[in-house]
Amino acid sequence: MAYEPPLEGKLTASKLLELIYPVDSIYMSTVNVSPATFLGGTWVRIQDTFLLASGSTYSHGTSGGSATVTLSSSNIPAHTHSVNGGTTGNQSASHTHSFSATTSSTGAHTHQHGGDWDGAPGSAATLHSGGSSGAQGQINTEPHGSHTHTASGTTGNQSSTHTHSISLTSSSVGQSSPSSFSIMPPYRVVYMWRRTA
């Protein structure tokens, strides 16, 4: 008959469980069978989460992270875009100007004519240029001679060296409403449980 140790010295299933998987232990398997069915204890399944070793950056018991991310302008490094357009160097433009103008009205004048008048009352007066008999006096001609001049034509070729200032905006790149993208590392999915009691 084989030797059997006293009952209190036997390694029971509960003692084995405490030795191998104490409370807060993690159990992993590629089979979807809860360890509670063959080890006992109370287990909670861990789902859709990576395990990360605690340290100075990540404290024990904390959680976080995301499987995807959507970038915004604050996530993009400062950069520039090249654009093409505008003038290069000084631009020489030879051109003419057309004009049409009218002078102001000038040149109106009269002429004075001196002489005397003689003749009996009721008879026609006779004008003697420069005469010395009879009544003497001067008369003025009607004012005439007011006129204008119209001038039209083109100037000669005028050479004008100049530059142009331009302001350009590059075309839009990317989407106005960007979609999120995956940041998941290579992975293999297994079943995991954590013992709670």
Residue 77 in tokens: 């490094």
The domain locations on the chain are 15-48+183-197
Q: What is the mean pLDDT of residues 106-118?
A: 65
| pLDDT (mean) for 104-117 | 68
Q: What percent of the chain is predicted at pLDDT more than 90?
A: 34
Are 90 and 163 spatial neighbours (Cβ–Cβ below 8 Å)? Answer: yes
pTM, entire model: 0.49
CA–CA dist 14, 17 (Å, integer): 5
Higher per-residue confidence, 65 vs 74: 65
For 128, counting Cβ atoms within 10 Å of its Cβ (0-12 exposed, 13-18 middle, 19+ buried), the class is: middle
Q: Mind listing the pLDDT tens digit for each residue in 9-59?
A: 677 888 889 999 999 999 999 999 999 999 999 999 999 999 999 999 999
Q: Do 162 and 145 contact (CB within 8 A), yes or no? A: no
Could you give the C-alpha distances from 185 to 34, 50, 66, 145, 182, in angstroms and in order?
27, 10, 12, 103, 9
According to the model, what pLDDT value does residue 131 have? 47
Task: Cite the beta strand spans of 40-109 per DSSP E.
Answer: 43-46, 68-69, 91-95, 98-102
Query: How does pLDDT run across 81-90, given as a tens digit for each residue?
Result: 877 766 655 5
